[in-house]
């Protein structure tokens, strides 16, 4: 008899948190650097949001032509 292992449907649920932990020290250094340069917390937050939007758009762009011709949606590592 072959044993099967049940997998969690959302096996990658912990990866988001692991990614945050991996980047947290550098994120804190980045925001502290920006604060010491004279930027306010809300200016820093808005800049980070804009940079994140730019990153998502850049990562999504190569997928769009392939997805237009595909009969399936390829798995993406992006959140949006």
d(CA 31, CA 37) in angstroms, rounded, equals 10
The answer to whether residues 78 and 59 touch, using CB atoms and an 8 Å cutoff, is yes
Domain boundaries, the chain: 13-69
Span 27-44, average pLDDT: 98
Model's pTM, two decimal places?
0.59
The answer to whether residues 41 and 35 touch, using CB atoms and an 8 Å cutoff, is yes
Does 62 have pLDDT greater than 90?
Answer: no
Length of the chain: 80
The structure tokens listed for 62 are: 């190569």
Does 40 have pLDDT greater than 90?
Answer: yes
């Amino acid at each position: 008899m072959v044993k099967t292992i049940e997998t969690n449907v959302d096996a990658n649920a912990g990866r988001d948190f692991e990614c945050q932990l991996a980047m947290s020290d550098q994120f804190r250094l980045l925001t502290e650097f920006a604060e010491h340069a004279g930027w306010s917390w809300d200016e820093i937050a808005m800049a980070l949001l804009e940079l994140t939007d730019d990153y998502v758009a850049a990562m999504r762009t190569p997928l769009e032509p392939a997805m237009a011709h595909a009969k399936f949606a390829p798995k993406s590592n992006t959140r949006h």
